[in-house]
Amino acid sequence: MASAAPGDSVSTTTEEAAATAGARAWLTTTDHKRIAILVGGTALVIFFAMGILALLMRYQLAWARNHFLAAHEYNEVFTIHGSGMIYLVVTPFALAMGLYLVPLQIGASTVAAPRLTMLGYWLYLFGAIAMLGGFALATGAADTGWTAYMPLSNSVYSPGSGQDVWILGVFLSTVGMIFIGATVLWTVMFLRAPGMTMLRLPVFTWATVATNLMIVGAFPSLLVALGLMIAGRMAPSAVIHNVWNIGYQHLFWFYAHPVVYVMFFPFVGAVAEVLSTFSRRPFFGYKPTVVSLLAFAGLSMSVWGHHMFTTGQVANDYYSLTSIALLIPAGLEYFGMVGTIVGGSLVFRAPMLFALAFIPQFLIGGLTGIMVGTPVVDYHVRGSYFLVAHFHYTLMAGSFFGLFAGLYFWFPKVTGRLLNEWLGRIHFALLVVGTNLTFLPMFWLGQHGMPRRVNTYDRSDGFGALNLVSSVGAAIMAAAMLVFVANLVVTLRRPAAAPADPWQGTTLEWATSSPPPPVNFTEPLPPITGYAPLLDLRRRAASERVT
């Protein structure tokens, strides 16, 4: 450059700026951070749309014999709410967090195979458009639930093309997730900075490793199940025997139980990092937690039959054994989280509030998970609102609180802007009240006999009062999310002035600027002495000052 004329260097800078700022640059980027922002941003937009569908359902169910939505409309709404949340929101967002943070946390400058990763985003985006586009069809969107059991989803019982675009959407987004999960896993295996041994990986990165192992191991099973469903739509009489119907359930749940943990682990990892940072100490119980995450991932692929206890066609006691065994790694993870705060010096910022609420709230989902993993209890509560309450406690009261803990925590890293603390606290308080008010009554509704996926109920059922409470809770959650949107708008209009490390972070992503440069680190990395290298650095500096 030294020999170039001044004019050349100016034009080069302009070109560079154009090359990194334009829409085209974003859509063809090979920067893992930008791909992650695309995936996470898309997921967040769809999250709001799926939330609106949830509000429609809660309005419909607020009182008995409501005629706001017809049965077939309600069926489309709950199908796309569930499918959208699982295939298009929580799974992609969980992966986007790993895609953004893992290369930074392990001191790498890029993700392995960035173009394959970007292809993953494109597949996911087209999948989302296909599935949600179902609402534009004359016959409506898919209406067989996110599980889409055969033969209900075949072309005899679901003739509309909504089911076809649903298959397309799930297939594309799932292939996209496999690509992204595989490249992030590859990154951890081969692109770690010198000194970053496997037992110095931050807890969040370990959670991502376990997540991606499950993706690579279990997601292909869904593709096979979808293939079976395609056969059921092209030639329903060819797959009419029971073996195909029950076979579909096996293939589906072999994917769909691990996906529950895919939608959970990255958020538990986020909670672990937040708890550690705001307790001003390294995460307690690192090794048991790592072992637990891997044991969890392994067990996750041997519990799928607990979704089929009432089919009369699986070995219930075996799947109950593996399901109940999950309490051992889960208990150890909780030991780490609770142990971290008990010996900490706690600072209550918005991310910490979400992380703290995560602990008891997810616990409700986990403890009731043991109940639904018990055959003699599941014979009653399966397919009821008890189950709806259970998995919303894991996903909404658990994973989403972890998601928001991570979002408030890493937002300054990603955007260079700190979210407003007071709006964050209002968001948090409303979300705690709304979430529990919405989902707690559902345990009793299920106990008293309300099946899931019903568009209405009779006055004589006596479900009215609890449903009304639940719907009021949903309205409070909506208010909480409006506060969050206001926070995003207010924050993004301010200049990007966040420091590299606004929270006294413990891991390597806080050692680079906010947002990080395209190659992640322009300064030499700090010495990697453990799984919380920046905390080690601060502690060493403090002890040197003392001596």
Partner 1 sequence: MIYRQVFGEIFPMETAIAGAVFVIVLATVIYAVVLRRARAGRSASGRIELPKLELAYAVLLAGVAAFLVYATASANTRLHRATSDPARSGDPAENVKVTAFQWCWRFDYLDRRTSVGGSCASSRHYPVLVVPTGRPVRFRLTSSDVEHSMWVPALKFKVDAFPHHTNAFTLRFDEPGQWLGRCAEFCGNRHSFMHFYLRAVRPDEYRRWLQQHPGTP
Measure CA 271 to chain center.
Answer: 13
Report helix, strand or coil for 384: strand
Closer residue to partner 1 (CB): 44 or 240: 240
Cα torsion 127, 132, 136, 141: sign: positive
Sequence-ordered list of residues with C-beta below 8 angstroms from that of 150, at least 6 positions apart, any chain: 228, 229, 232, 239, 244, 245, 248
Beta carbon of residue 228, minimum distance to partner 1 (angstroms, whole number)? 15
Residue 378, token pair as written in the block: 């599941």
| Three-point CA angle 424, 429, 432, nearest 5° | 120
Beta carbon of residue 446, minimum distance to partner 1 (angstroms, whole number)? 9
* Single-letter residue type at 508: L
Closer residue to partner 1 (CB): 328 or 519: 328
Closer residue to partner 1 (CB): 116 or 137: 137
Beta carbon of residue 1, minimum distance to partner 1 (angstroms, whole number)? 48
Beta carbon of residue 87, minimum distance to partner 1 (angstroms, whole number)? 18
Closer residue to partner 1 (CB): 230 or 240: 240
Q: DSSP letters of 439-458?
A: HHHHHHHHHTTPBTT-S---
**Max CA separation in the chain (angstroms):** 87
Closer residue to partner 1 (CB): 110 or 310: 310
Sequence-ordered list of residues with C-beta below 8 angstroms from that of 304, at least 6 positions apart, any chain: 250, 253, 254, 256, 257, 319
Beta carbon of residue 258, minimum distance to partner 1 (angstroms, whole number)? 20
Beta carbon of residue 222, minimum distance to partner 1 (angstroms, whole number)? 19
Beta carbon of residue 32, minimum distance to partner 1 (angstroms, whole number)? 29
Closest among 82, 166, 87 to 124, alpha carbons compared: 87
CA 271 – CA 282 distance, rounded (Å)? 13
Closest among 290, 423, 412, 288 to 353, alpha carbons compared: 423
Closer residue to partner 1 (CB): 56 or 454: 454
Q: Are 228 and 148 in contact (CB under 8 A)?
A: no
Q: DSSP letters of 52-69?
A: HHHHHHHHHTSSTT--SS
Q: Tell the burial category of 500 from Cβ atoms under 10 Å away from its Cβ (0-12, 13-18, 19+).
A: middle
Closest among 281, 245, 218 to 156, alpha carbons compared: 245
| Three-point CA angle 193, 198, 203, nearest 5° | 100
Beta carbon of residue 306, minimum distance to partner 1 (angstroms, whole number)? 12
Q: What is the DSSP letter of 84?
A: I
CA 335 – CA 330 distance, rounded (Å)? 9
Beta carbon of residue 297, minimum distance to partner 1 (angstroms, whole number)? 18
Strands (E), 44-128: none
* Single-letter residue type at 363: L
Residue 429, token pair as written in the block: 């308080």
CA 37 – CA 96 distance, rounded (Å)? 7
Closer residue to partner 1 (CB): 92 or 402: 402
Closer residue to partner 1 (CB): 48 or 379: 379
Beta carbon of residue 167, minimum distance to partner 1 (angstroms, whole number)? 17
Beta carbon of residue 347, minimum distance to partner 1 (angstroms, whole number)? 5
Beta carbon of residue 531, minimum distance to partner 1 (angstroms, whole number)? 9
Cα torsion 113, 115, 121, 124: sign: negative
Closer residue to partner 1 (CB): 193 or 377: 377
Closer residue to partner 1 (CB): 2 or 315: 315
Closer residue to partner 1 (CB): 231 or 321: 321
Closest among 334, 355, 342 to 288, alpha carbons compared: 334
Closer residue to partner 1 (CB): 48 or 318: 318
Beta carbon of residue 341, minimum distance to partner 1 (angstroms, whole number)? 4
Q: How many CB atoms lie within 10 A of CB 356?
A: 21
Closer residue to partner 1 (CB): 238 or 367: 367
